[in-house]
Amino acid sequence: MPAQADNLFRNLIELLAAIPSVVYGLWGIFIVIPMIIVLSIMILPTITMISRGALVAVPTRLKMAAYGQGATRWETILAVTAPSASRGIFGGVVLAFGRALGETMALAMLLGNANVISISLFSPANTLAALLANAFPEAGPKDVRVLMYAATVLLVITLVVNAAGAIILQRTSLDSDADMERGKA
């Protein structure tokens, strides 16, 4: 990909990642009602940025070795580049999932803010983050304890998911650094 197109792509993805969730929520209510699509669009820039970094980190020598063995461009992508970057791509997916878990405004707007458990995926519902945002201003002393418990549960879930993503990304960068060192020797 030419450098100018690469810079344009990177800037576009970073711009999408910077859009506030309330904008995505409004857009979802008035344009794209199914919440899964809106949430997917919200986390896509995170996955894309981290995946791009993982793909760029694949040592050029590995790709050149595949070409030297007679592999085509797509064979190199599928057999060398994608497997080498797979941990980084998976780490990006996990970190984006962590963002989706903590999402408040867009999901609060799209799900209908109903504190009801239902079997149907299409019935009104609520997320922990939206519950906290909506209930804290009017909470009494007993309600605050329950909301703090909900906040703790959300915090633990988000920390576990983000820590898992960070560990995966760290291992990926260590593996690519080790591959680079092996290539220099």
**Residue partners of 87: CB distance under 8 A and separation at least 6:** 54, 168, 169, 171, 172, 175
Domains of the chain: 3-184 (1.10.3720.10)
What pLDDT, in 10s, does the model give residues 70-102?
999 999 999 999 998 988 888 888 888 877 776
- Give the pTM: 0.58
Is the pLDDT confidence value at 105 over 80?
A: no
The confidence score (pLDDT) of residue 96 equals: 85
Mean pLDDT of the chain: 78
The percent of residues in the chain predicted with pLDDT above 90, rounded, is: 12
What pLDDT, in 10s, does the model give residues 29-59?
666 665 557 677 778 888 888 898 889 989 9
Mean of pLDDT values over 2-30: 71
The confidence score (pLDDT) of residue 99 equals: 77
The confidence score (pLDDT) of residue 26 equals: 66
